[in-house]
Amino acid sequence: MTNPHLQLDALVCDLDGVLYRGEAPVPGAASAISELRERGVKIVFATNNATKTLEQYVRRLGTFGVDAEPEDLVTSAVVAAEEIQGRGWSDRSVFLIGGNGIRDALGSIGMSFVDGIQARSAEVVVVSGTPELTYDAIRTAAFAVRAGADFIATNDDSTFPAPDGLWPGAGAILAAVETASGRRAEVMGKPHCPMMEAIRRRLDGRERIAVVGDQPATDLAGARAMGWTTVLVLSGVTDEAAARAEHPAPDVTVPSLAQLRDLIADSG
Ligand SMILES: [Mg+2]
């Protein structure tokens, strides 16, 4: 374990595998967040999971003893909506493959959802994770993308952890639409630029920044590209052997957020 004494102004914190694992809290994680805040470290929570709304996440974090306001949270659904709004596409029609979180985010910027045959000429196609995928949805999305729709994905995680193992993630669904349409989507989530820039906007100019996560390919790769400190926790999908094999090595590896607290000096 590397253990430099970290000086931090802000910590970008992944959710699943860092604060909780499924329905089980990571021991000591909630109190570590409280203590870091008391020492002046700003916390931004960032997840690629686009299935839940910000309000659902605020409640979910609350059940694990973590206080959060909607503005402390970034999901790939929120990033997709901010990006679409920033491009002036809010008044366009959208065909969506995805769940509540992304539906809520696109609805909040005023996009109009289209379905069925009409959706084959949607102006924007958004693909996200959902357990309710149908062949019809893949076909409709492929038609629209081939017809020239702008093509956005919330995230491209191939899998996500479930109690019985790894389940197909948004990336698996996205691969089906990309294969069928012959085009690649612009991906919003970690480690891609739109999410990293959305996080930066929420850091209010703070300079000494670390990202803590359990997935090197998403959490840490995005951080590295921004020049931020990378912290790998072993409380999620990466075990100690996999962590040792990681290249480039994370700046810091700790068993969990509870131990990270001890490495962070008062920000002063
Ligand atoms: Mg995670």
The model's pLDDT over 220-254, given as tens digits with 9 standing for 90+, comes to: 999 999 999 999 999 999 999 999 999 999 999 99
Q: What is the pTM of this model?
A: 0.94
User: What is the C-alpha separation between 43 and 70, in angstroms, rounded?
Assistant: 12
Contacts for 205 with CB less than 8 Å, ≥ 6 apart:
none
Write the CB contacts of 117 (distance below 8 Å, at least 6 apart in sequence).
none
Q: What is the pLDDT of residues 14-62, one digit of tens each?
A: 999 999 998 999 999 999 999 999 999 999 999 999 999 999 999 999 9
Out of 14, 157, 214, 219, the active site residue is 14
Rounded distance, CA 198 to CA 55, Å? 18
Centre of ligand 1 from the C-alpha of residue 115, in Å: 32
User: Do the domains 88-187 and 10-48+191-263 match in fold?
Assistant: yes
> How many CB atoms sit inside 10 A of residue 22's CB?
9
- Domain 88-187 CATH assignment equals 3.40.640.10: no
251 is known as an active-site residue = no
Helices within 109-208 (DSSP H only) = 135-146, 170-181, 193-201
* Ion ligand 1: residue ranges with CB closer than 5 A: 14, 16-17, 214
Whether the pLDDT of residue 2 is over 70: the answer is: no
Q: CATH 3.40.50.1000: does it fit domain 10-48+191-263? A: yes
Are 66 and 30 in contact by the 8 Å Cβ rule? The answer is yes
247 Cα to the center of ligand 1, angstroms: 18
Specify whether 16 is catalytic.
yes
**Distance (Å) from CA 48 to ligand 1 centroid:** 8
CB 251: neighbour CB atoms within 10 A?
18
CA dihedral sign, ordered 14, 226, 193, 42:
positive
Using DSSP bridges, classify how beta strands 229-233 and 252-254 pair: parallel, antiparallel or unpaired.
parallel
Point out the catalytic residue in the list 16, 104, 157, 214.
Answer: 16
Instruction: State the Cα–Cα distance between residues 102 and 262, nearest whole angstrom.
Output: 36
Q: Which residues contact 118 (CB under 8 A, 6 or more apart)?
A: none
**Domain ranges within the chain, ordered by starting residue:** 10-48+191-263, 88-187
Q: Could you read off the pLDDT of 114-134 as tens digits, one per residue?
A: 999 999 999 999 999 999 999
